[in-house]
Amino acid sequence: MSHKNIVKENTEARIIQLKNFLKANGLGDIKPEDAVKMAFMSDYETLSPSAKRGYVNAKQFFNAYNMNISGEFEYHHVAWRSLFVPTEIMYAMNLIPYTTEMVASQLAMSGSSSERIETAEASNFSGDLCSFMKTVAGGVIENIFPTPDILLTSTHICDPSAKYAEIASHIYNRPEFVLDIPYGIYDLYMNRKTRDDEERIDEAVEYVTQQFYEMIEFVREKTGLELDEEKLKQICIWTNEARKWLDEGNNIILYERTSSKKGIKELDYAANLMQTWGTEEIVDVYKSRYEDYKKNQHEKREITQPRIAWFHLRPYFKNQLMSYLDEKIEISGSQVNFVFFDELDPDDPVRSIARRTVLHPGYSSVMARTSIAIEKIPEDTSGIIAYYPKSCRHFHGGAIMENEMFKTAGIPILTIDGDCVDDRGDDFPIVKTRVDRFLKAISK
Amino acid sequence: MKKTGWFCTYTPVELIHAANVIPYGIRSDSKAEHEDVLLGDSMCSYVRSCMGGALTNVYDDLSGVVIAHSCECMRRLSDGWKFRQNQIKPKLIHILDIPKVVSESSIKFFASSLKRLKNDLEKEYGPISDESIRSSIEKYKITRTLFKEIDDLRKNENTSITGIEIEELVNDYFAIPVEVFNEKLKKFIDSKKDSDSPDSRPRVMIAGGPGNKSLIKTIEESGGLCVAENMCTGLRAFAGTYGEEKDPFDLLARLYLDKTPCPRMLGEKSREKTQELPQLINDYKVDGIIYFSMKFCANMQMDWALLKNHTNLDIPMKVIEGDISSEINEREVYSFIKRLKKRKKKNES
C-alpha cells in the first residue's frame, strides 16, 4: 500500500479509534475534542514536575490520534514502538513513538485494563502471557489504539513485546522493522580483559549501528520521511541535558535528603522506559524535578521512615499497597530511573545511540545487573522492595538469584510477586502482611 | 569420548563435533524440573527441567554445555547455570547469542559468534582445524539429506512410517554420534522404502516448540498418524539449505539462521513460517494440526494466537497447552482425532 493511502486510511481509522478508546474508559458520551481540552486545562508552567511529565505524555498520546492539544485535527506519523527501541531517531524523522506498554499502564490507571485482558484471553492469548501485552492485544481487538504508520521493534529484554508487534503489523497491515540487539555485551563490557573482548563490543555496536541505518532507510522507503541530521544533533543535545538533570535529581534523593513530596510519583518517571527521550520538553521535566528536590533539600537528619530502593515497576491499577507504602517508607531511589548510559555524541549520533542500546544493563545477566545495584545503592538504604509481575520472565525469573546476592551483600530485600496492570489477583491483606514483616525486620 | 551438551536446535553442533566431542542434545528428561528452586515458577518447563537436572547431577557425564540465548527463559537458564557453577560438574559453559532476524548483517554477526564458540571449545578440547569443521559439516549434511528422504516418504499417503518411530530416531540423534546415527537412518530408510500400505488414519501435523513426550503416542493411540513435526524435536532439527560459502563459519551461520523458523524468530523470517504452512499442509497431506504450546513460553503462545486468529487454513487446528513432561489429556486428543476422522470421511465421500 502506498503511504498516501496509509495516511488516508489512518486518518479515517483514528477518528473511530479515539472514540472507541474513550468509550472503553467510560467516556463514550464526551466528544473527542472536548476530552482533549479537558486533559490540558491547566497551564503547563504551573504544573508539578510529575504532572509536566504526564502532560507531555498525554500530548503525544492525543497527537497519535491526530489531535493537537486544542482538540483540532493534525496528522501525525506514528511509529508503534516496543518498550526499548530508542526514540531519538524517530523524532529526527518526524515520527511520534506510540509505546504500547505505556498505554497498557494508562489503561490500568483508569481501571480499564482487565477488560482488555479478558478480551485477549477470550481470543486465544494464553493466560500466562505478559499482562501488558495481553492488555495491548485486547485493545487492538477492540480497535482502541491508533493505527500506526509503521512499527519499530527490538529484540532486547522482552520477548512478548516484539512478538506481539508482529501480530499487530499483520492486523494493521503496516510495515515492521525489527532491530536485533545482541545479548551479553554488557556482561562482556563489565568483565572485559582482552583485546578480543574490546573488538567484540565494537563489533556489536557496529552491528546495531548498521541496523539503525537500515531502519532509517526502511522508514524513508515506507513513509517518505527523511532523517533530519541537524535535528538529530539537537535531539542528542536534549537527551544529554535531560540525562544530566535526571542524574542530578537522582543524586539528591539517593545521597542527600529532600523534603519534597515524591512518593510513588518518583516511580512514575520510569525514565529508562520513557518515549520522550530526545524531546525538548523532557529536559524541562527533569530539570523541574531537580529544582524541586534541590529547593527542598535539607541536611541529613534522623530518619523516621525506612529508606527503600524500589526495583522494577509498580501496580498501576487502583490499589491500596502504594498508598500504604507512601505512609510507611521513603523511596530513596528507583531502579528504572537509574542513569546507566554515557552522554550521546551529537557528532556521531547513530553510533552513540547504538552503543547505549547495546550496553543496556537491563539486558544482561542477573549477576551483572545486581552487581550494579549493590555498588550504587547508598549505605544508608534500609532495604529494597522489588515488585515483579509474575508474567515477566526477564525480571521475575531472576528474582531468587538476585535475592541471594543482595542478602550476601547485607542488603535486605522483599520481592513482591504481583502484577502491574492486571488487578484480578490483587490481594492487599496478604501483601501487607509481608510488607509489615519486612519493615519490622529491617527496623531491627 | 567426551560429550558437550546443547539445548536449542539453533546450536551448530558441527562445531562441537569438530572438537572431537559428542554433541549431546539436552532434552526434557531430567525428571528434575521440580528440583529447580533457582529460577522460579514463571520459567518454561524445559528450562526448569534443564536447571533441575544440572542441580541434581543429571548432566555430570558432560564436560561442557553450550547454552543458546534463544529466548528469555534460556537467558535465565544461562544465569542459573553460572550462578551455581560451583555445584554443577560440566566445566565449559558457553553462552551463544542467536540473532532473531535473518539478514546479511545478522548472518555475519552470528558467524563471528560461532568463531568465539570455536575459541572456547579449543580452550577445553584443543585445536579445531577448518578441515575438521568441514568434515563435520559433511557428516551432518548426510544426516539432513537422509532425513529429507524420510520426510519425502512420509509425504506419501500410504506411508508406513509412524510418528513414534520418528520420535525414537530424533531421540537417538540427540544422544549418539552422528556417524552411528547416519547408519541407523540408512537402515531405517531401507526398511521403509517399499512398505507402504493403505492407511485411512487422519494425518496430523504437530507444531510448536520442544514436544511433550506423551503427545505423539497419545495422538497415534487415539487413531491419528503424525506425519510432520514442525518443532525443535522434529522437522526444525534437520531443516536448512547449504549455501555456497567457502568459510565454514559463514556457511553454518546461514544454514542455521535461515532454516525453518522457530516461534522465537521475528521479522520476515517469522512471516515465512506462516506463509509456508499451506505448502507444508499440502505436501504432507495434513488433515489437522495440533499446536503444542508450552506453558510460560511467550513465543509459542504468541505464535499460536497469530496462527489461530489470523491465518486462514482450511483444516482444523487445536492447541494443547501444557508442560513439557506433563500428562496429555487423552480425551482432548481423542475428540480432535474423532473430528478429523469424520471430516476426512465426509471429504472423501
Per the structure, the count of domains in chain B is: 1
- List the CATH number of the domain containing A64: 3.40.50.11890
Closest partner residue to A401 (CB to CB) among B79, B266, B301 is B79
Residues A62, A192 within the same domain: yes
The answer for A 29-48 residues in CB contact with B (under 8 A) is none
Query: Is residue B112 less than 8 Å (CB to CB) from chain A?
Result: yes
What's the pLDDT score for residue B33?
81
**Chain A: residue whose CA lies nearest to B82:** A367
Do both A44 and A85 map to the same domain? yes
A157 to chain B: nearest residue by CA? Answer: B72
Would residue B96 count as lying in a domain? yes
pLDDT at A303 over 70: no
**Does A191 share its domain with A141?**
yes
Task: Note whether B34 contacts A: Cβ–Cβ < 8 A.
Answer: no
- How far is the CA of B323 from the CAs of B210, B248, B292, in angstroms? 10, 37, 9
Residue B49 within a domain: yes
Tally of CB atoms within 10 A around B339:
15
Examine the domain organization and report whether A73 and A195 are in the same domain: yes
Q: What is the pTM of this model?
A: 0.95
Mark A393-417 as b/e (b = at least 16 C-beta within 10 Å). bbbbbbbbbbbebbeeeebbbbbbb
Tell me if residue A5 falls in helix, strand or coil: helix
**B85: in domain:** yes
Tell me whether residue B70 is in a domain: yes
Q: What is the domain range of residue B102? A: 3-128
CATH at B85: 3.40.50.11890
A226, A244, A264: which is the final residue of a domain?
A226
Write out residues 356-385 of A within 8 Å (CB-CB) of B: 365-367
Q: How far apart are CA A297 and CA B185, in angstroms?
A: 76
* Contact by Cβ (8 Å): B267, A176: yes
Cβ-in-10-Å burial (0-12, 13-18, 19+) of B258 comes to middle
- A407, A384: one domain: yes
Domain boundary among A226, A261, A276: A226
Q: Do A397 and B71 touch (CB under 8 A)?
A: no
Q: Which of A210, A226, A242 is the last residue of a domain?
A: A226
The model's confidence at residue A270, banded by pLDDT at 50, 70 and 90, is: confident
Interchain proximity B69–A183, CB inside 8 Å? yes
- Looking at the fold, whether A352 and A287 belong to one and the same domain comes out as yes
What is the pLDDT, as a whole number, of residue A95? 98
**Has residue B216 been placed in a domain?**
no
Residue A272: its pLDDT value, please? 83
**A361 & A405 share domain:** yes
Assign residue A138 a region: left if phi > 0, alpha if psi is -120 to 50, beta otherwise? Answer: alpha
Q: How many domains does chain A have?
A: 2
Nearest chain B CA: its distance from A203 CA (Å): 8
In terms of Cβ atoms closer than 10 Å to its own Cβ (0-12, 13-18, 19+), residue B317 is: middle
Q: What is the CATH number of the domain that holds A347?
A: 3.40.50.11900
User: Are A365 and A395 part of one and the same domain?
Assistant: yes
A301 pLDDT more than 70: no
B138 within domain boundaries: no
Contact B25, B278 (CB under 8 A): no
State chain A's maximal CA–CA distance in angstroms: 67
Residues A216 and A242 in one domain: no
Say whether both A204 and A254 belong to one domain.
no
Between the alpha carbon of residue A41 and those of residues A11, A25, A37, A74, the distances in Å are 26, 19, 6, 19
> How far apart are the C-alpha atoms of B84 and B99, rounded to whole Å?
27
Which of B79, B301, B306 minimises the CB distance to A366?
B79
On whether the CB atoms of residues B282 and B155 are closer than 8 A, the answer is no
Instruction: Give per-residue burial for A129-151: e unless 16+ CB within 10 Å, then b.
Output: bbbbbbbbbbbbbbebbbbbbbb
Pair B128, B18: CB distance under 8 Å:
yes
Question: Using a CB-CB distance cutoff of 8 angstroms, which residues of chain B are in contact with residue A183?
Answer: 69, 75, 95, 97
Cβ contact, residue pair A137, B101, below 8 Å: no
Supply the range of the domain harboring residue A360: 234-443
Within-domain flag for B164: no
**Closest by CA position to B292, among listed B245, B250, B233:** B233
- Cβ atoms of B170 and B234 within 8 Å: the answer is yes
Give, for all 349 residues of chain B, the pLDDT tens digit: 999 999 999 999 999 999 999 999 998 888 888 877 799 888 999 999 999 999 999 999 999 999 999 999 999 999 999 999 999 999 999 999 999 999 999 999 999 999 999 999 999 999 999 999 999 999 999 999 999 999 999 999 999 999 999 999 999 999 999 999 999 999 999 999 888 888 899 999 999 977 788 999 999 999 999 999 999 888 889 999 999 999 999 999 999 999 999 999 999 999 998 888 999 999 999 999 999 999 999 999 999 999 999 998 999 999 999 988 888 999 999 999 999 999 999 988 8
Cβ–Cβ under 8 Å, residues A336 and A298: no
Q: Are A163 and A130 in contact (CB under 8 A)?
A: no
Q: Is residue B94 part of a domain?
A: yes
Under 8 Å between Cβ of B169 and B185? yes
Domain match, A67 and A198 both: yes
* CB contacts, 8 Å: B266 with chain A: 153, 155, 162-163, 166, 178, 180
Alpha-carbon torsion angle A55, A57, A61, A64, nearest 10: 110
Residues A157 and A113 in one domain: yes
